[in-house]
């Protein structure tokens, strides 16, 4: 019996073709499971980096200390302090003002920490407040711009910006502001 039967096995040519096909399938699976997701993730990171850089540059330009404006003017007697409603403490007035600014700008107000000690500047008290806000880039930029137009807010002592952890389309800004309050 010189003819090949199925029980004898594969010919050397068939083995080579089968090995080549197995290698091809392995390469395709490797690409689909490992390489393509990495390339996609790198593309998203590049887009996110560009958005973060643009946001940082624009927000930094808003609070640039060399630019003359309301945030850089020293406190004086003509400055209107944050109005306190009847029976309202300064910390509640600051929280109310921050809530109004955050809702007007469309950002989410995170943690707001009011420093325990106020400083005297002329006839007014200065209260430092650490604030964290998050939201879309345009909303955070609007919140920063709104600070420039608010009368009792003078000065941004510290500013940082990062990408929000839960939503890569949003940014998170941490600021230390100074509010001016009437003397008790």
Any idea where the domains of the chain sit in the sequence?
44-182
Whether pLDDT at 90 is above 70: yes
The DSSP secondary structure of 141-171, one letter per residue, reads: HHHHHHHHH-SSEEEEEEEEEEE-SS-TTEE
Grouping H, G, I as helix, E, B as strand and the rest as coil, residue 184 is coil
Match 């009437």 to its residue by tokens. 182
Q: What is the mean pLDDT of residues 26-46?
A: 87
CB contact burial 103-116 (16+ within 10 A = b; e otherwise): eebebebeebebee
pLDDT digits (tens, 9 = 90+) for 98-138: 888 888 888 988 888 888 777 777 777 788 889 998 888 88
The DSSP secondary structure of 81-107, one letter per residue, reads: PPPPPTT--HHHHHHHHHHHHHHHHT-
Length of the chain: 184
Q: What is the mean pLDDT of residues 144-163?
A: 74
Selection from 127-136, 150-159, 173-182 with the highest mean pLDDT: 127-136
d(CA 59, CA 141): 6
Whether pLDDT at 1 is above 60: no
153 in the Ramachandran plot: left (φ > 0), alpha (ψ -120 to 50) or beta?
A: beta
> Which residues, 6 or more positions from 23, have their beta carbon under 8 angstroms from its beta carbon?
none
pLDDT digits (tens, 9 = 90+) for 2-33: 555 555 688 999 999 999 999 999 999 988 88
Task: Indicate the helix (H) or strand (E) that contains 177.
Answer: strand 170-182
pLDDT digits (tens, 9 = 90+) for 50-78: 888 887 887 777 666 554 444 444 544 45
Greatest Cα pair distance, the chain, in angstroms, is 114
Architecture per CATH, 44-182: 2-Layer Sandwich (3.30)
Q: Is the CB of residue 89 less than 8 Å from the CB of residue 113?
A: no
User: Quick one: DSSP state of residue 8?
Assistant: G
């Amino acid at each position: 019996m010189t003819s090949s039967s199925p029980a004898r096995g594969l010919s050397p040519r068939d083995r080579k073709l089968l090995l080549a096909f197995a290698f091809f399938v392995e390469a395709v699976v490797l690409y689909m499971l490992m390489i393509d997701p990495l390339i996609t993730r790198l593309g998203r990171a590049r887009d996110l980096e560009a958005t973060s850089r643009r946001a940082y540059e624009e927000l930094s330009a808003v609070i640039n200390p060399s630019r003359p404006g309301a945030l850089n003017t020293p406190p004086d007697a003509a400055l209107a302090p944050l109005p306190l409603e009847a029976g309202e403490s300064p910390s509640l007035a600051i929280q109310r003002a921050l809530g109004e600014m955050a809702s007007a700008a469309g950002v989410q107000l995170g943690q707001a920490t009011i420093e325990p000690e106020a400083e005297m500047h002329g006839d007014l008290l200065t209260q430092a407040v650490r604030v964290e806000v998050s939201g879309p880039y345009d909303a955070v930029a609007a919140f920063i711009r709104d600070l420039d137009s608010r009368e009792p807010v003078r000065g941004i002592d510290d500013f940082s910006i990062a990408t929000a952890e839960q939503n890569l389309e949003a940014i998170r800004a941490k600021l230390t502001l100074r509010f001016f309050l009437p003397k008790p």
